[in-house]
Homo-oligomer: A and B are copies of this chain.
Amino acid sequence: MKNTIGKNVAITVFGESHGDMIGCVLDGVCAGVSIDMEFMLKQLDKRKPQGSISTARKESDMPKIVSGVFEGKTTGTPITILMENQDQKSKDYSSLKDIARPSHADYVANIKYHGYQDYRGGGHFSGRLTAPIVAAGAVALQLLQQKGISIGTHILQLYNVFDDAFSSNAEELKHEIDKVNTMYFAVLNEYIGQKMEETIELARLQQDSVGGVLESAIVGLPSGIGEPFFDSLESVISHYLFSIGGIKGIEFGSGFSFANMYGSSANDAFRYEHGNVVTTTNHNGGINGGISNGMPILVKTVVKPTPSIAKEQETINMQTLENTTVAITGRHDPAIIHRARVVQDSLLALALVDMLTEVYGTSWWMPCMD
């Protein structure tokens, strides 16, 4: 469905980097939820560039909710969130109109839209469109919170620097999630975090960029969520997450490490523990047969290095049909992984809210139904 995803709770995203506005419509949220605007702004802050590790572009990202909320509470009808584009500096891009920036969408957009796309700043393909997703995700996260479901994401790897992995102990994991959710540069080991920031700074100085790996954990998700075939939790979650521009890989639980394991090591043994069913390991990342088994859901994604770099690169001029070079001189991020983190949390939340609604219905979420 192109720019809409979700069956019972759906999000539609629109806008271009240098157009008038970007925004989204979030449809299917139950009525009566007090929107926590402070939380929404905090979430948006996590996506904002900060310090020298990010672009100097100042985006206000101030969300304006123009429908679906009345007297501070959701009405049950579509929630529309708008954000004005203020610090556009469109002139930065006019010289790039015909130049296909390597690994950006410029070339494919030019093919797909026959030259009619808004080319300024990546247009509809700009990472800027993740801002409304974060705003909508804040609503989804609030819904999940209310049902005891938490999501947290940290930077597991940045170039050649590695953070500790999430704990396999349930209690500790909860604390770790709470901790990273308060951080801008989300890592478990803050010393490692510093090393990572230095690595980004180093890339910036070299007119270059770096990527990394995000690790997310979801705790509190009831077992039985996900559908047997085409709507396996893995299918749905990956569908949502691959809409983030820079993500090029995803794995659940042990993921690609499964390739090196024997079945006897890879299998997660079930056990009754204090009346609950647990698995003694969690190689499958909380998902069996596409359905949640009550253990933490574990997801990793790889975020490629930001394609916008100041270094000169070979490319083509789409107008003159000639080979040329480009050095992208605008304000750009030497890394976006720390900013992509909250987008990942947001899309995970939106995916889960939709999946849960299929099983429990819209009415399940109603605060007054508690």
Q: Are B76 and A113 in contact, with the CB atoms below 8 A? A: yes
Among the listed stretches A55-63, A165-173, A202-210, which one makes contact with chain B, having 4 or more residues with CB under 8 Å of it? A202-210
The interface-forming segment of A42-50, A146-154, A181-189, A285-293 is: A285-293
Complex formed: what's the CA distance from A66 to B293 in Å? Answer: 28
Question: Is B267 a contact partner of A309 (Cβ separation < 8 A)?
Answer: yes
Q: How many residues of A contact B (CB 8 A)?
A: 151
A89 within 8 Å of B (CB atoms)? no
| Choice from B27, B255, B321, B368 contacting A3 with Cβ under 8 Å | B27
Alpha-carbon distance A255/B368, docked complex (angstroms): 36
Whether A39 sits at the interface, judged by CB under 8 Å, is no
Chain A 242-269 per-residue mask, 1 if CB under 8 angstroms from chain B, else 0: 1101011111111110111111101111
Most buried by B among A67, A115, A245, A270: A270
| Neighbour of A263 across the interface among B253, B292, B306, CB < 8 A | B306
Chain B residue with Cβ nearest A308: B263
Bitwise interface map of A from 282 to 322 toward B, beta carbon under 8 Å scored 1, else 0: 01110011111110000000111111110101111000011
Residue A277 lies at the interface, judged by CB distance under 8 Å to chain B: yes
| Of the residues B3, B104, B210, B304, contact of A228 by C-beta under 8 Å | B3
A158 to B77, CA, bound (A): 33
Q: How far is the CB of A254 from chain B (nearest CB, A)?
A: 7
Report whether A116 and B70 are in contact in the complex, using a CB–CB cutoff of 8 Å: yes
Cβ-defined contact, B75 with A124, below 8 A: yes
A23 interface contact, C-beta 8 A: yes
Q: Would you call A104 and B316 a contact (CB within 8 A)?
A: no
Closest-by-CB residue of B relative to A302 is B256
A230 touches B239 (CB 8 A): yes
Tell yes or no: A52 within 8 A of B by CB: no
Q: Is A223 an interface residue (CB 8 A)?
A: yes
**Also in contact, A258 and B303, with CB within 8 A (given A3-B25, A32-B113, A208-B263):** yes
Bound-complex Cα distance A313 to B269 (A): 7
Complex Cα distance, B323 from A139, in Å, reads: 38
Asked whether any CB of chain B lies closer than 8 Å to the CB of A352, the reply is: no
Complex: chain B residue closest to A366, CB-CB? B114
Contact partners of A359 in chain B: CB under 8 A? 361-363
Closest partner residue, chain B, to A293 (CB atom): B108
Given A20-B67, A361-B358, A25–B14 Cβ distance below 8 Å?
yes
Could you list 8 A-B pairs, sorted by A, with CB under 8 Å?
A1-B4, A76-B117, A114-B366, A160-B260, A249-B256, A263-B311, A270-B314, A280-B314
6 closest residue pairs by CB, A with B: A105-B289, A361-B361, A249-B251, A209-B263, A31-B113, A263-B305
